[in-house]
Structure 1
């Protein structure tokens, strides 16, 4: 039986192969394939995909992989698709989204092309390179595959907590989000080799341990402390009842901690 990590690795490899073919498809559309490459594909009976109908699915799947496995490169990956901060469209800022729209910018009455589909070719190559880097993490001894599987579980649990809050079950939703926060902080402490002296440590023990060992700074420590207070509001009888907004804030805060504290 194939293990989940092995299955995930095969899926990522398949995405990389598809990304390579999409890259060739873009080259073929914008400037034509070199004869040698065209013959190699023909000999192997490989048919290039239709970029404009198959890219969106590839992008969504690749985005999900990079978000979980190589989150520090996600912004770079998205930027190749579209740079939301650009002030003008030129060869450097032209993205894959522009190519999909068939956008072409010119000046001097159209006599000089500033950017067209050919400007997106390098962007597609970069996206696939980032995906390849994500795949290599599966092979690295530094990568703990448990983190990927745990992230899936946390996403599911936080989704359940959000739904409970929306339906009025605020204490239940807050309790679930609090458990996720505690599990994540315990995992971070474990990864860094720090263990609480207490027999039954709680959220406050974990974030204090992380701060004392310089794994989190003071702003993050205060932020997690606030989340801990919201969790306690949901778990224990306090001066006031927790609200739906309290739990939504807790869920969103835990999501942020998972992405930034590791």
Structure 2
């Protein structure tokens, strides 16, 4: 029977695979010709390159799904890195101008580009988000070491979930005054008939 541990690992592997596909999709969106060239070097034929590109996910909705699920997993298993992960997506509240260093995934999804002068020389654009996304993937990948090095902590997490469930069940038993055998000891007629010295049947 699959455990919560197995579920976490399975979710992790799916997110890693989707993250890799999204990273390729992002590079294709930003540098299409360069991406095709690199793909051609690896895949050898134009037919294989075109097939590969057609299978790339749509970055926008794909990333939103990946981000939401990654946040949940990191919050559960690596909470001390959650703020770092989110920082690469959300626009800084104190940001006064958009630069290469503070361009984030939220800017990328909105197609933000900063230009200068009459010739509209690009100062910063979507390519700046590639580094930010790479860092998010690296943070997610760091979970793999946690599965191996702190498996005991994860087991404790699962045990805590089970304990909470058992505690809630115990509270319900006390609330309704149900004996562990299932016999009611409440104030109903059965309780009166049995009396204080009665035992479970």
Select the structure with the greater relative contact order (CA < 8 A; seq sep ≥ 6). 2
Q: Which structure 2 residue ranges, 5 or more long, are not aligned?
A: 172-201
Once the two structures are superposed, what CA deviation does each residue of 1:31-61 show, in whole Å capped at 9, x if it has no partner? 1215343554947x65111001211111000
- TM-score normalized by the length of structure 1: 0.53
Once the two structures are superposed, what CA deviation does each residue of 1:118-177 show, in whole Å capped at 9, x if it has no partner? 010111111111000023211214651134436767999xxx9xxxxxxxxxxx9xxxxx
Q: CA RMSD in A?
A: 2.9
Contact 1:95 1:123 in 2 (8 A): yes
Rounded Cα–Cα distance in structure 2 between residues aligned with 1:96 and 1:154: 39
Q: Decide which structure has the larger Cα Rg and report it.
A: 2
Once the two structures are superposed, what CA deviation does each residue of 1:213-250 show, in whole Å capped at 9, x if it has no partner? xxxxxxxxxxxxxxxxxxxxxxxxxxxxxxxxxxxxxx
Rounded Cα–Cα distance in structure 2 between residues aligned with 1:150 and 1:83: 37
Secondary structure at the residue paired with 1:113? Answer: strand
Q: What is the count of residue pairs matched by the alignment? A: 157
2:44 is the counterpart of 1:35: no
Contact 1:65 1:134 in 2 (8 A): no
Match of residue 111, structure 1, among 111, 120, 124: 120
Alpha carbons of structure 1 residues 27 and 110: separation in structure 2 relative to 1, 3 Å: same
Match of residue 135, structure 1, among 133, 144, 152: 144
Contact 1:15 1:58 in 2 (8 A): yes
Deviation at 1:3, TM superposition (A): 2.2
Match of residue 53, structure 1, among 61, 80, 84: 61
Match of 2:18 in 1: 18
Rounded Cα–Cα distance in structure 2 between residues aligned with 1:11 and 1:76: 20
Q: Which structure 1 residue ranges, 5 or more long, are not aligned?
A: 161-171, 173-262
Rounded Cα–Cα distance in structure 2 between residues aligned with 1:154 and 1:134: 25
Rounded Cα–Cα distance in structure 2 between residues aligned with 1:68 and 1:135: 14
Match of 1:99 in 2: 108
2:90 is the counterpart of 1:88: no
